[in-house]
Amino acid sequence: MCGFQIRGNHRSREIPRSEWDLNINKIVAGDRQVDGITAGAFDVLTSDRKTTRNPRSPIVSMSFAVKGDSQIIAARIVGAPNADNGIKAMIEPEPAARLYTALLNGKEVQISLSYQDGTSQVLQIHGMVDRRKFGRGKNNLLDECLQGRAPYWNIAEPVP
């Protein structure tokens, strides 16, 4: 399994605040490959000096828009939410490849989320540019991971 962790707003010390956890993965089993997502959103609150992370309403719609690319990348939610309202989703291979390329090249990506309670949010992130001397093309971090030569990377950061 190789992919990207996107941890939104975890560095903030504000209370209350929203946080988002997304994992975008390519899972390889023999000659089969699946591009999947797990995602959840939380409201971080405090009471009596104790910080709590309350799950938001389940995500019912998710899509990605890469800056400079007019085609929206839609995620198809599968199954029921878990106990913390986390969801699983799938992305078709070609749009997933465009998303991975954008994340690996530091492009800005907007993530649109719609929730079961009728609310919605748009998050803006950008990935990390692979600045290694030979870290381009088929030598990028994702491909190295798929070949068993690099770890799972946490490379997406919120846009300031």
Question: What pLDDT digit, counting tens, does each position of 83-120 carry?
Answer: 999 999 999 999 998 998 888 778 899 999 999 999 99
Domain locations in the chain?
2-158
Q: For residue 10, what pLDDT band results from cuts at 50, 70 and 90?
A: confident
Q: How many residues does the chain have?
A: 160
CB 132 within 8 A of CB 143: no
pLDDT beyond 50 at 22: yes
Q: For residue 159, what pLDDT band results from cuts at 50, 70 and 90?
A: very low
Alpha helix positions (H), 49-157: 93-104, 141-146
pLDDT beyond 70 at 30: yes
Q: For residue 132, what pLDDT band results from cuts at 50, 70 and 90?
A: low
* Mean pLDDT of the 118-128 span: 89
Alpha carbon 144 to chain centroid, angstroms: 19
Prediction pTM value: 0.81
Tokens 């106990």 -> residue: 83
Question: What pLDDT digit, counting tens, does each position of 43-88 carry?
Answer: 999 877 788 999 999 999 999 999 999 999 999 999 999 999 999 9
- 147 versus 85: which is more confidently predicted? 85
pLDDT beyond 60 at 121: yes
pLDDT beyond 90 at 12: no
pLDDT at 133: 60
- For residue 50 the two structure tokens come to 């104790």
Count of H-run helices and E-run strands, the chain: 2, 10
| Closest listed residue to residue 112, CA positions, set 53, 41, 36 | 41
Alpha helix positions (H), 1-122: 93-104
pLDDT beyond 70 at 158: no
